[in-house]
Structure 1
Amino acid sequence: MNIIPSVNLKDFLSDDPARKQKFVEAIGKAYEDIGFVALKGHFLDEALVDNLYKEIKSFFSLPTETKQKYEIPGIGGQRGYVSFGKESAKGKKEGDLKEFWHFGQYVDDNDALKAEYPENVTVNELADFNKIGKEAYQMLEKTAKYVLRALALHLDLEETYFDNYIHNGNSILRPIHYPPITEEPKEAVRAAAHGDINLITLLMGAQGRGLQVQNHNGEWVDAIAEPDELMINVGDMLSRHTNNKLKSTIHRVINPPKELWGTSRYSIPFFMHPISEMKLDVLEGCIDENNPKQFDDITAGEFLNERLIELGLKK
């Protein structure tokens, strides 16, 4: 299977049970086969997308010393700016060829969680940066909620099974800038092969070549979205919770051909995380004689912590 399937969320949101069921089956099959899907009909309108790109390009083109004011020590890079080459994929020494920003959850109805999460960081130089970032965060979170509802039905769970776990979840919106490549990279690529930690990832900016997905045969397949599509993939938390029924697929961002080295690439993933206390124990319905339980019981918070240490973002 070498093509990433495309689905339309409007089918799931329609009042027609047959259309809704068709969406559930299509996305379920895609996540069992390759772990990636291209999604139309999401909640981000074109103007919001354009404004978000405008704001993040303005931010990343600020002087380095200005950006570094927003690099907050002691929080494992969970909010604000993370400078070039800081993060590496699990098992790799070379830092990825990227710098990025983190917007986190906006909690307004839970004081304990508000205290648990780091504050979002305000960029003083750009009047609309934080407002547009928050709007995009909330529209992506809303989109993710309905994708997870479809997956709950696919897994024979109650449709709103994930709702309480993702409300105020520890989700992250990460605008990434891959700067122009100025010299032959030794071992580094824009983003080394990795699996995501979270439940699902919604990716803006997968138009054009760069993102590649590894299929079951170990071959790398280009994942290219249409301009109005988000690329959405399964993360390790959901794969673990479903006993690997839904696949968390290894993916990477390769360096462009030499004639395009002079260009920046921007991509904006939204990492959908649950609240820390969600149990990721394998679902009973995903265990049978042919698929015995593969993973130990763990909470989302414990799992995230383990992985941040592996990535070098936490000590």
Structure 2
Amino acid sequence: MINPVLSSLLPVVLLVAIGFITGRAGWIRAEAIKDLSNLVFMVLTPALLFRTMSTVHVEQLNFKPVLMYFVAAMLLFGFVLIWQGGTRRAAVLALAATFSNTVMIGIPLVGLAYGQAGLVTLFTLISVHALMLLTFATVVLELAVAREKVAAGGGGGQHMLLTVLGAVRNGIIHPVPLPIIVGLLFAQTGQVMPAVVDRPLQLLGNAFGPVALVLVGVTLTAVRIGDHFKAALGLSLIKNLAFPALVALLCWGLGLSGLQLTVMIVTAALPIGANVFMFSQRYQVAEELVTASMAVSTGLGLVTLSLVMALASLL
């Protein structure tokens, strides 16, 4: 049987490699990267998020282990945000340190390693993963943007409360949080999505992972990883090792154990998710570093995930 870590990461590596080769061959020009990024961020991502959340019934989920996962994520996010200066760049790097590739890598890895019981725990986390982290990151980023405008003299007379309210509004009326919220609201009605609507959404959502990863590969053609390797390695070590260690410490300290604890730790150890790249593109900050970090984090994951899974089995 193929090692579950290897079988989960190889498709990701291959899709990134295909994008890299495509970019090198000139089949996708550098000028088209922004348009493709908009396609992913404005069309494919909302379709995936809305359809995923449209079937989630909150009352059926066990959120106890998930709660500690997000406590750890928020603590680490806050630490990186403050450490890096509270800017847009800091917010994107904080998201990179805490946002896991739960779908492309997490689902096949957990399914192969822990079976259906493990997937139930993972799906509980996935149901609110994007809602919690991406919505929080969006609000933080919009606040940073508003603060930068004030500092640049673009809104110096505006009351701080109005700035905060404007940032929160922009954080909700946004291609990421809005479809999550609308999807959740739809799910609570008990209605079933008509097939004529559900099928196109499914096709668009299925395209997100491959297109986003190919786009990462295309972007790598314009990035010299060597120039960012040290910073990318540091960020990858925080994501792949420090984050799961913090999750393990908090969960173990509260008496959580067994499969649910293991799945939370392994999920925290997953490489950086493609949504972080989309955010760096959207807010035009740290794009090269995030791209390099995703590549390093995924490659490093072949070793770190195996290590984390071995250590988690001892808890």
TM-score by length of 1: 0.30
Larger relative contact order (CA 8 Å, sep ≥ 6): 2
- The structure whose residues are more often strand, as a share, is 1
TM-score by length of 2: 0.30
- The structure whose residues are more often helix, as a share, is 2
